[in-house]
């Protein structure tokens, strides 16, 4: 619960309309009375404190990736969603009151753009969103038209609905043996409704192929790398979202007024995959019918970007199946995430970008805040070992598209995300791009502008940001390089098995990659460092043992009333901690205000936990001056309390790390002939002589 002053009913903006019966894909959506139909909305929820964001994540609502320091945007699918916000005391403003009407408007805009356009400025010339069949056809055409540069592949695990999940690999002599080049991996559509994420991934593939041989920069980058693109990871969810999104039909039937005839809202705004029964497979083709059990299909399935192994099961990932951020029955429980796990584990992916919408962000690890403490480790997460380098590249990419470069946790805490696992397990740099400012799949011209850049970023955009990421992937200073001699044609293998920490335990991971020695008997292998970032040294900030100043108050406050205490910060300190305690399992809340020179108050923190959970506000680097600490009695019948304010200096300490080794083997005719442990750091080139492999 939240402080009493912010507890208000937030029911404004609910819109209704007539849902006309329509048969789609063999399913009939029945007609309903006006007061029975709730139109899904996009709303901006007020979250001025971190505690507010944490509370919002417990409500089972459909959170977007569009958030700031004091708000998170949320899709409301039902009146119950609105009631959940009201009961929690979270206020909100309606930004798009009718997502289905907006979908219909977007369809009209897209149709008009396609009718007026022969070829768009995109590398492919496309003028509208692809379907799943379009993606597969485009990838096949790239390989057919450029057989020495492009090959298609099918990932090993089909989707729950039985669909293949496909990708392309791009590189010079791509059908030949792997010669140890660094790998750049581009992913799209983990979340079904985020159509531009697949478009940008696919356009980048087309861009590289189209300009290879004529653009010197692209030719050089492709010659020095292998680029792998999987434009649609969540094929089942995307197929439903894209199909249903195209069917929404808005027709003016009252002489230019606003009455609508609506096709099925269906799964246009579906988020998750097609897991219908937790932990169990279902017959192929069952997803559409199963998705009818929740509005828009958002309550069924697993959030794939909470299902990866890195700190799986922690903050920002729900353990309730119906919640939009449901993490799955176990880490990597879903075929889609298994596919990406095996893809990354089988290649030396030195840089990865996974695309999402929306919020105009470039996010880097970690997903959870540095002061959080996983139960599996017992020490704060701290910042990643490579924070400085990760930030430098993130900032450089954001300078091309105008996005904000930040830690993922600064959006809100998440665990089990793609790049958190890939970075911490392999050392390859990983980022999430949140494409576009304000919609999951906006009118198609906006997709073009985001890719190519517009306004101040014209000629840059995500295209240039992706090229910078590819340059990072091939730069030997950002990974490691092994060189030496070995028998021509021999297979070299790097392997490592280890425990990846989840939030409460660990899972076993294995990295197993190979390359083939060229005919001259020399090899150069671009690899990731032998020691994983998650076990390297890291710095954490901890509060000093004793406060430098402390003051306590005891008192009582009548129900629905509040009591103020004033506390002065008279010195420069790192932290101000305010705690509120009481002896009963009732509910008191805490608000903290900064007192301005004119006597007015500015709220700087609050804590409104659930019943029986005590309140705490932590302020970093508090300014000198007077603070008002307000105890609010929301629901306590025995209203005695103890309030404590304390100032602390924080200590920065280093958590010592480990050193890990690759096991490098040289194999001939399927037999291991030589085995060597290899310890190599980022930016290091190490010579490993394997000539003994040829003497046995």
User: Kind and range of the H or E element at 696?
Assistant: none
Is 396 in contact with 101 (CB distance < 8 Å)?
no
Using N-to-C axis directions, what is the helix angle for 132-145 and 235-247, rounded to 10°?
120
Residue 36: partners with Cβ closer than 8 Å, 6 or more residues away: none
φ and ψ at 653, to 5 degrees? -130, 160
Q: How far apart are CA 88 and CA 74, in angstroms?
A: 14
Q: How far apart are CA 335 and CA 340, in angstroms?
A: 9
Q: How far apart are CA 429 and CA 338, in angstroms?
A: 20
Q: How far apart are CA 685 and CA 179, in angstroms?
A: 17
In the DSSP assignment, the letter for residue 693 is G
Q: How far apart are CA 91 and CA 349, in angstroms?
A: 43
Is 166 in contact with 139 (CB distance < 8 Å)?
yes
434 is catalytic: yes
Q: What 3-state DSSP class applies to 606? A: strand
Is 489 in contact with 516 (CB distance < 8 Å)?
yes
Residue 468: partners with Cβ closer than 8 Å, 6 or more residues away: 393, 396, 397, 400
Q: How far apart are CA 102 and CA 111, in angstroms?
A: 14
Going by their DSSP bridges, the two strands 662-668 and 625-635 should be labelled as unpaired
73, 334, 419, 434: the active-site residue:
434
Closest CA to 382 of 368, 371, 393: 371
Q: How far apart are CA 488 and CA 644, in angstroms?
A: 72
Strands (E) across 123-245 are located at: 150-154, 166-170, 183-187, 226-230
Q: How far apart are CA 528 and CA 512, in angstroms?
A: 12
Q: How far apart are CA 514 and CA 498, in angstroms?
A: 18
Task: Show which residues are catalytic.
Answer: 434
């Amino acid at each position: 619960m939240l402080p009493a002053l912010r507890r208000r009913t937030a029911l404004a903006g609910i819109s209704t309309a007539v849902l006309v019966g329509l048969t789609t894909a063999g399913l009939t959506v029945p007609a309903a009375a006006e007061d029975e139909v709730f139109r899904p909305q996009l709303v901006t929820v007020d979250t001025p404190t971190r505690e507010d964001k944490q509370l919002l994540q417990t409500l089972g609502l459909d959170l977007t990736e569009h958030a700031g320091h004091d708000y998170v945007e949320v899709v409301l699918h039902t009146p119950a969603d609105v009631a959940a916000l009201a009961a929690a005391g979270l206020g909100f403003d309606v930004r798009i009151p009718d997502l289905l009407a907006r979908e219909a408007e977007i369809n009209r805009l897209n149709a008009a753009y396609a009718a007026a356009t022969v070829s768009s400025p995109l590398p492919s010339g496309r003028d509208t969103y692809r379907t799943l069949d379009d993606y597969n056809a485009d990838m096949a055409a790239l390989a057919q038209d450029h057989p020495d540069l492009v090959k298609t592949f099918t990932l090993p695990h089909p989707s729950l609905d039985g669909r293949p999940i496909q990708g392309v690999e791009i590189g010079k002599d791509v059908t030949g043996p792997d010669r140890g080049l660094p790998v750049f991996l581009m992913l799209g559509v983990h979340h079904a409704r985020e159509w531009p994420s697949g478009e940008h991934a696919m356009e980048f593939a087309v861009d590289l192929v189209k300009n290879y041989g004529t653009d010197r920069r692209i030719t050089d980058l492709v010659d020095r790398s292998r680029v792998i693109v999987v434009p649609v990871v969540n094929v089942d969810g995307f197929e439903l979202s894209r199909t249903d999104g195209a069917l929404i039909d808005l027709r003016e039937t009252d002489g230019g007024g606003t009455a609508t005839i609506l096709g099925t809202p269906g799964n246009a705004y579906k988020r998750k995959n097609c897991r219908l029964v937790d932990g169990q497979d279902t017959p192929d083709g069952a997803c559409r019918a199963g998705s009818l059990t929740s509005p828009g299909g958002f309550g069924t399935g697993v959030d794939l970007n909470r299902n990866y192994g890195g700190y799986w099961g922690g903050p920002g990932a729900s353990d309730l199946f119906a919640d939009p951020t449901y993490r799955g029955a176990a880490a990597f429980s879903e075929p889609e995430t298994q596919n990406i796990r095996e893809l990354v584990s089988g290649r030396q992916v030195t840089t990865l970008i996974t695309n999402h919408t929306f919020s105009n962000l470039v996010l880097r690890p970690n997903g959870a805040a540095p002061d959080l403490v996983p139960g599996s480790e017992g020490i704060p997460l701290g910042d990643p070992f490579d924070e400085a380098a990760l930030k430098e590249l993130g900032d450089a990419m954001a300078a091309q598209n105008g996005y904000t470069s930040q830690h993922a946790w600064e959006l809100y805490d998440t665990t089990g995300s793609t790049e958190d696992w890939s970075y911490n397990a392999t050392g390859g740099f990983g980022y999430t791009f949140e494409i576009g400012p304000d919609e999951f799949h906006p009118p198609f011209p906006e997709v073009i502008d985001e890719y190519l850049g517009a306004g101040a970023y014209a000629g840059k955009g995500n295209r240039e940001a992706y090229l910078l990421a590819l340059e990072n992937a091939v730069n030997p200073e950002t990974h490691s390089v092994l060189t030496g001699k070995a028998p021509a044609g021999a297979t070299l293998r790097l392997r490592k098995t280890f425990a990846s920490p989840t939030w409460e335990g660990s899972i076993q991971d294995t990295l197993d990659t190979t390359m083939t020695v060229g005919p001259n008997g020399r090899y150069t292998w671009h690899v990731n460092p032998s020691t994983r970032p998650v076990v390297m040294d890291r710095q954490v900030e901890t509060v000093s043992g004793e406060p430098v100043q402390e003051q306590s108050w005891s008192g009582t406050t009548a129900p629905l009333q509040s009591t103020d205490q004033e506390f002065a910060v008279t010195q420069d300190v790192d932290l101000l901690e305010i705690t509120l305690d009481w002896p009963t399992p009732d509910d008191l809340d805490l608000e903290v205000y900064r007192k301005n020179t004119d006597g007015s108050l500015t709220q700087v923190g609050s804590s409104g936990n659930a019943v029986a959970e005590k309140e705490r506000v932590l302020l970093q680097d508090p300014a000198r001056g007077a603070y008002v600490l307000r105890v609010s009695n929301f629901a306590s019948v025995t209203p005695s309390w103890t309030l404590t304010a304390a100032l602390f200096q924080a200590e920065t300490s280093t958590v010592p790390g480990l050193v890990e080794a690759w096991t490098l083997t040289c194999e001939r005719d399927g037999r291991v002939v030589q085995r060597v442990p290899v310890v190599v750091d980022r930016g290091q080139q190490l010579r490993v002589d394997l000539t003994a492999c040829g003497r046995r």
